[in-house]
Structure 1
Amino acid sequence: MSGSDELQNHMNKGMYGTPQLKPDEKRKYLGTFRERVDLTLTFEQLKEPEYLADLKQELTLHPELHVIINGQVENPLLSELMQIAQEANVTFTCNTDQTLEHGSKDLAVVVCDKNTALHVEEVDVAKRYPKTTKPEVAPKHTKSPLERLHKLFE
């Protein structure tokens, strides 16, 4: 590399900052790469107790993982998430970057490995732990005595 190229690179870093690898992906996953992610919860899913139970289960199974919490999470939920992580003996950080998205479909919690790629195919908590809904059984229509009597005389 010639001297002028090095000078240009140095000036570019000074003006624009150090180039980042996959900045949009890192922003989406609260500062980590997708291949390091094990499980994610959106702001909408965070309000569902079943998904918090699934998060507890995942952290119990994998205490070596790390939890990243979006700083836009409301305080009562933030406290609950911190308590869940502490009970599972899992490290956690709260990313308070104001540029992070915080709509209902945006990520509120990311469970990941700090340094190692996990390559987990399905990271969404709703797809990994689908809700089991009990099929609604229609109540049997019992005929009243009058209806039964009417049927006899038809």
Structure 2
Amino acid sequence: MSEKQSELEQRLMVGLHGTPELKHHEKVQHLGQFRERIIRLLTKNQVEDNHVYPEIEEALKDPRAIRLLLNGDLAYRYRDKYIKIARKHSKPYTVVNDPSLKGNAGLVVVADHAVDVDKIEVK
């Protein structure tokens, strides 16, 4: 009987609090993405630099890359140069506006599966 009670308690908890999310802390740091799906990442400060990081264009050329995500906290003038590169390489982009995201990520190039790139940060 305790097994059924445990299952009932689990269902109640899901009903009250929603489905538990895997690696939530990791996702709030990386614009809602799992770390292992990221090919390249720029910080907010790097996106605000005047120059374009060539590493991002290279990442968008990667056949595993499926999308560019940009932090919605950044002004359009900073995001626009990367949007143009995404369009040039026929990659969709999304501007992420989510106040629950707490990381310093300004831009990520992601795959739809784990790619486990060792160094995602551009120096």
Is the structural similarity TM-score above 0.5?
yes
Q: Percentage identity across aligned positions?
A: 27
Cα deviation for residue 29 of structure 1 reads: 1.0
More strand by share: 2
**What is the CA deviation profile of residues 19-44 of structure 1, one whole-angstrom value per residue up to 9, with x for unaligned ones?**
11110001111111111111000011
CA contact (8 A) 2:86 2:92 kept: yes
SS of residue in 2 equivalent to 1:2: helix
Do the aligned partners of 1:69 and 1:92 also contact (CA within 8 Å) in 2?
yes
Counterpart AA for 1:119: D
- Could you say which residue in structure 1 is the equivalent of 2:43? 42
Q: Which has the higher contact order (CA 8 A, sep 6+)?
A: 2
- State how far apart, in whole Å, the 2-side matches of 1:58 and 1:50 are: 16
Unaligned runs of 5+ in 2: none
- Corresponding residue number in structure 1 for 2:22: 21
1:123-150 C-alpha deviation (Å, 9 max, x unpaired): 1111xxxxxxxxxxxxxxxxxxxxxxxx
Offset of residue 64 of structure 1: 4.1
What residue is the counterpart of 1:108 in the other structure? 106
Tell me which amino acid in the other structure corresponds to 1:108.
G
In structure 1, list runs of 5 or more residues that go unmatched.
127-154
Q: Indicate the residue corresponding to 2:117 in structure 1.
A: 120
Secondary structure class of the residue paired with 1:76: helix
Residue identity in the other structure for 1:3: K
Q: Tell me whether 22-31 or 70-79 shows the greater mean CA deviation.
A: 70-79
CA RMSD of aligned residues (A): 1.9
Query: Residue 80 of structure 1 aligns to which amino acid in structure 2?
Result: K
Asked whether the equivalents of residues 38 and 108 of structure 2 are also in contact (C-alpha less than 8 Å), the reply is yes
Q: How many residues align?
A: 121
TM-score by length of 1: 0.70
Higher alpha-carbon deviation: 44-53 or 21-30: 44-53
Residue 72 of structure 2 is aligned to residue 71 of structure 1: yes
Over alpha carbons, which structure has the higher Rg?
1
* Maintained 8 Å contact 1:51/1:125: no
Could you tell me how far apart the structure 1 residues matched to 2:48 and 2:33 are?
23
- Are 2:3 and 1:2 equivalent residues in the alignment? yes
Report if aligned partners of 2:26, 2:34 keep a CA contact under 8 Å in 1: yes
Partner of 2:88 in structure 1?
87
C-alpha contact (below 8 Å) 2:57/2:85 kept by paired residues: yes
1:40 counterpart letter in structure 2: L
